[in-house]
Amino acid sequence: MLAAVTNDGRLLLVEQYRIPVGRRVIEPPAGLVGDIVGEEEEALETAARRELLEETGYEARQLELATIGPPSAGLASEIVALFVARGLTKIHDGGGDASEEIVVHAVPLDETDAWLDARAAEGTLIDPKVYAALYFLHRKSSLK
């Protein structure tokens, strides 16, 4: 997954209907690694770049691995890697591949809390990884 902020300070988030929960969900851009036939040994950074472009339409000049770990170790073997993306350039509108219906949101960082609260009040689910992305964006920017 990616914590990606545009050069004008907007957090990139994606929204899509998720069948298991039967609702629309706001999430950081993310995707699977090694799920393409012939690319089973795909590097994490390669997958992150591919998913960022596919879902949001942006390319990143720099990706920095912020953390990696299990989001639900008591339930699944999934491991999540979070990259901070910098130096973004918009290439196209995004929206995912042919099997996806992704809506891209570019939310001003200083309005993110209120925007997320409003979306939740409307009944949209917010993936907790959004808050992890915000934490690492803040942490990485305060270290520079």
**pLDDT category, 141, cuts 50, 70, 90?**
low
User: How many Å apart are CA 6 and CA 143, to the nearest integer?
Assistant: 19
**pLDDT category, 143, cuts 50, 70, 90?**
very low
Alpha helix (H) residue ranges in the chain: 44-56, 112-121, 129-142
Cβ atoms of 63 and 71 within 8 Å: the answer is no
Which of the pair, 93 or 142, is modelled with greater confidence? 93
> Element (H or E) spanning 58, and its range?
strand 58-69
Q: What is the mean pLDDT of residues 54-65?
A: 96
CB atoms within 10 A of CB 97: 9
Number of helices and strands (H, E) in the chain? 3, 7
pLDDT in tens, 31-40: 988 677 777 7
pLDDT in tens, 110-127: 999 999 999 999 999 999
Residue ranges per structural domain of the chain: 2-142
Is the pLDDT confidence value at 144 over 60? no
Percent residues over pLDDT 90 in the chain: 76
Given this structure, which CATH class describes domain 2-142? alpha beta
Is the pLDDT confidence value at 41 over 90? no
> Element (H or E) spanning 11, and its range?
strand 10-18
Q: What is the pLDDT of residue 135?
A: 94
pLDDT in tens, 93-111: 988 777 778 999 999 999 9
| Stretch among 12-26, 34-48, 109-123 having the lowest mean pLDDT | 34-48
